Amino acid sequence: MTFQKIRLEFTHEERVARITLASPKANILDRAMIRELATAFSRCAGRALNAIVVDADGPHFSFGASVQEHLPSQIAGTLQALHALLKQIYEAPAPVIAAVRGQCLGGGFELVLACDLVICDKTTQFASPEIKLGVFAPAASAFLPIRIGQAAASRLLLTGTAISAQEASRLGLVARLADDLDAELEQWLQSDFLSRSPSSLKFACRAARLPLRRVFEQELPELEALYLRDLMATADAEEGIRAFLEKRAPHWNKPALAEK
């Protein structure tokens, strides 16, 4: 497969896989990019690696998933493809490090949340803005309470507010906050990963990821069903998506008041 929207490189004597979102400036995580990312992680699966780095070209990591692909006719396939990719990250044979700068939103944020570790520079902002479009973020709803706690997760999920790199670091989401992202990432690879045993790292990953097993076995299927069966049955879910695509304010449904 020839990649059109990402790059895959094996560096450091083929001990590090580098998977780069290569469709700047937005790096939209559409189904074509998701397919390519899935192929890249498949190519990592049988290798003895010390680390897998997920980064992005341009000033921003990702503006998120394709809104067009969240219309009712496409959303089921979109969610299934994204969640299958996140499970591949969960099963990856080495620590997966997200290296982030700029905006990291929506589906791009969910991609980062599935990684083991996050390093970012001080330009980074993270957000799950789906509620502003009349929908919610299934994977973020599962991952964020584990990563930053229920109260902080609810604030992001229910308001769509963005948090800075500094706040993400205080919440424990970001492991390293860098002035020079590339230099700090290289130093981190050298100090904490390249000197380790690849086979030991593989088993350490399985152990560290154990709390996420429930996410993939139970929570994501339940959240997919909630999204597809219940949310998408409402007029507001489609209205929010279409309003965004048409660059207008949404006209939310106003249910009648219950009789006393």
- Look up the domain containing 13 and give its range: 6-179+199-208
One-letter amino acid identity for 6? Answer: I
Does residue 245 lie within any of the structural domains? no
Q: Six-digit token pair at 225? A: 């069903």
Q: pLDDT of 209-245, one tens digit each?
A: 999 999 999 999 999 999 999 999 999 999 999 999 9
Q: How far apart are CA 78 and CA 31, in angstroms?
A: 6
Burial, 95: exposed, middle or buried (Cβ in 10 Å; 0-12, 13-18, 19+)?
Answer: buried
Confidence check: pLDDT of 107 > 70: yes
CB 171 within 8 A of CB 155: no
Average of per-residue pLDDT across 193-204 = 98
- CA atoms of 192 and 105, how far apart (whole Å): 28
Structure token pair of residue 141: 């709803």
Q: Across 115-233, where does the E strand assignment appear?
A: 117-121, 125-127, 162-164, 176-178
- Domain membership flag for residue 64: yes
Looking at the predicted structure, is the pLDDT value of residue 97 above 70?
A: yes
**How many domains does the structure of the chain reveal?**
1
Given a cut of 50, whether residue 83 has pLDDT beyond it is yes
Contacts of 72 (CB under 8 A, 6+ apart): 232, 238
Structure tokens at 183: 């230099």
DSSP state, residue 20: E
- Residue 133 belongs to a domain: yes
Which distant-in-sequence residues (6+ apart) come within 8 Å of 151 by Cβ? Answer: none
Mean pLDDT calculated for residue range 144-170: 98
Mean pLDDT score, 119-143 = 97
**Cβ atoms within 10 Å of 10's Cβ, excluding its own:** 14
Least confident of 1-10, 28-37, 137-146: 1-10
DSSP conformation letters of 39-71: HHHHHHHTS--SEEEEEESSS-SB--B-SGGGS
pLDDT band of residue 256 (cuts 50, 70, 90) is low
Euclidean distance between CA atoms 134 and 240, whole angstroms: 5
- Which residue's structure tokens are 């998977």? 19
Is the predicted pLDDT of residue 248 greater than 50, yes or no? yes
CA 74 – CA 203 distance, rounded (Å)? 37
Q: Binning pLDDT at 50, 70 and 90, where does residue 254 land?
A: confident
**Residue 145 covered by a domain:** yes
103 domain residue, yes or no: yes
**Lookup: tokens for 99:** 């290296």
Tens of pLDDT, residue by residue over 160-198, are: 999 999 999 999 999 999 999 999 999 999 999 999 999
20 lies in some domain: yes
Residue 156 placed within a domain: yes
Query: What pLDDT sits at residue 257?
Result: 55
Tokens representing 253 are 């449904």
CATH number at residue 104: 3.90.226.10
Average of pLDDT values for 69-98? Answer: 96
Count CA atoms within 13 Å of residue 108 on its CB side: 31
pLDDT number for residue 2: 86
Whether 187 is covered by a domain: the verdict is: no
Cβ neighbours of residue 185 under 8 Å, at least 6 residues apart? 53, 55, 97, 99, 119, 178
Cα distances (angstroms) measured from residue 228 to each of 78, 112, 231, 252, 253: 11, 23, 6, 19, 19
